[in-house]
Structure 1
Amino acid sequence: MAKKLLLVGGGHSNALVLKHWCRHPLADVELTLVSDVRQTPYSGMLPGYLAGFYSYGESHIDLAPLCASAGAIFVQDKAIAVNPEQNLLTTAEGRQLSFDCLSLDIGSTPFIDDIVGAEYGIPAKPVPQFLTAWLALLENIDQNRPKKVTLAIAGGGAGGVELAFNLQARLAKLFPAMGLDMQIWQRGAILLPHHSVQGRKLIERLLVKQNIAVLLNHPVTSIEPEFSPDDNPLTCYKLWSNDHWQSVNAVFLVTQASPAPWLAQSGLSLDSRGFVSVKPTLQSYSHGHIFAAGDVANMIDHPRPKAGVFAVRQGKPLFENLQHYLSHQTLKTFVPQSKYLSLLGTRDGRAIALWGPWASYGHCWWRLKDYIDRQFMAGFSA
């Protein structure tokens, strides 16, 4: 009887498992992917898509033909529960899918539970809902042609900074005569707290140059609708940080990552924030037949930031260990790099390069980033 391998979520790691499976399939294994979306975004190109540098197709992986090439079943549905004792996955549409081995790669969403009125904000994830809200905002601006738009980004990490640069680029290109006030609201006293002093100083200079305001020690505590003045036909909101507020037209939430709430009832071993605790083999600490990668996983022995680069790096070792597990072979350990090159695209065909304490900025880094990202995506169409 064929063993059942269930890939849950179409994140980078699981997509790479499918890519490698196309070349090296395993006999007597029934492979299934469950994903709530068919088009899964590639995080490296998503900011460039927002800025207008890439098309939707260039920045997304179509999971259906990828599954077909791998001989896998594609189920477009959302996972809502897993029972690792009974080996059952439950989906939003009521499916009960059995498995012998499962790989979880469902990503994360911004933590917004401490923001009153968070439903008025636009979370950066899930990406499809974010893109829908962003395109609706662009259409609203196009129809009403306000003299000025004020946008706020809650979160001063790398994701929030890159989003600010690229949203500004898109709006400046589409509406060059419109005034734009772009703001980053950062909870803490410094921007990009997980990056070097040199990197922070470089990015702060670029933000000043691009007229992007940074409000430090400004945690977003509340969002509430506000009556729109006559000179601004767009919807307005009061954005509060404790007892201080400003009027904005949209709030993008790029706060600390949080896991899917249903994991808390899964019985899997979780860390203090609710992410799946995994070994260096990417196996769950509590259930060896459950693997996890990408944002949903926390490598307890080698903790790393929630970044797409690590999900990509986990792809091949995840593929190898899934096959080794199903073949009763010894699993390999994976140690993620402690330093990694971070490339943040900006609005002008240049990029910021960050490596440990070192930082640089220029056209060459954009060309490198573009090359790396296009090579990555080309691997899914070969």
Structure 2
Amino acid sequence: MSLFIEFHLIQNFAPSNLNRDDTGAPKDALFGGHRRARVSSQCFKRAIRLSAQEHDLVAPEFRGVRTKKLKTLLLDRLVDREPVEAEGKIEIALAAAGLKLKDDGKTEYLLFLGEAEIAGFAQLIEQHWDELAGAPAGGEKKGKKEAKACAPAKVVKKAKALLDGGKAVDVALFGRMLADMPEVNQDAACQVAHAISTHRVEREFDYFTAVDDKGGPDETGAGMIGQVEFNSATLYRYAVVDAGKLLGNLQQDSELCLSALEAFTQAMVRAIPSGKQNSFAAHNLPSFVGVCLRHGGPLNLANAFEKPVSPRNDKSLTSQSVEALAGHEGKLAAVYADSRDQWAYLDLSDAWPAQKGQQTANLSELAAWVRDKVASRLEV
């Protein structure tokens, strides 16, 4: 099955600093020869994951966790066991799977694991508690090979089999890579583009002062001064999900695949980065959300804005951006699109052509459309 679900969003943010670079300034990029505001794909991926969790869009057992604190998570699940002994058993079980704990008890690098994988390790340790003999006593650390040698062969086999993604939706969507364990890598079913502004953007500076509430009458001036950089931009956001790849990553569970796509649609739209929100409160949801089911291959429409949209007194940047998006898509579709491609959209700008796809009244309806259309393809 060759089916790609594309998401095209136009989203205008008030003054903000959603995604900072190493100097604290809003990230930007040159595109079409002009400076554009930019929010990285990594930033939006995390926002999507957090949005799905906040709105309870994915059942807890099908979520993923990105952490170095796997030992702590396992100790929380082994609360009935003696902690020092449990620590040793955990080290052996993880080493059996090829994972090493450092002296501080954390893993060597960030792991992206499904909740089912974590629960599976806890269950494995419980089931083979007595067989994990030779586990190091508290404080006695072994190398990965030494620790692995303490585990029976059947435990090693089971431990390795646990790292299958755990049918975690976010792991299936965004993938994972462990350099020294390529056999447990998972290629992402979803690709997310860096969001860029549809128009030229210049950085601005906010000079601020803070007053000492307890300052005496002889104390003048501010207790603190500083400055923060920010911008305001109408962003074009793009993501695409390979439905076949997602189904494979979720171990051919078609119902979970459909639920994941419905959840991703909602989370993608609701996702707002958290950077500097206490200072700017830029909680601005998209004005346009277009979803296209592509069959021939993905089409990123960012080149609609290679020539930046220019401000006009009679029309907003948002409306102009939606018009430019529709016009560019029409040109590309005439040359590259498949006759089976379908659009649905949610448009608060009233700028998307009415004949171009099915208009939906709200986000829930749009997410349901995605689920229903993909379901009909999975049945073919």
TM range (shorter): under 0.3
TM value normalised by structure 2: 0.22
Of Structure 1 and Structure 2, the greater helix share is in: 2
TM value normalised by structure 1: 0.22
Of Structure 1 and Structure 2, the greater strand share is in: 1
Which gives a bigger RCO, structure 1 or 2 (Cα 8 Å, sep 6+)?
2
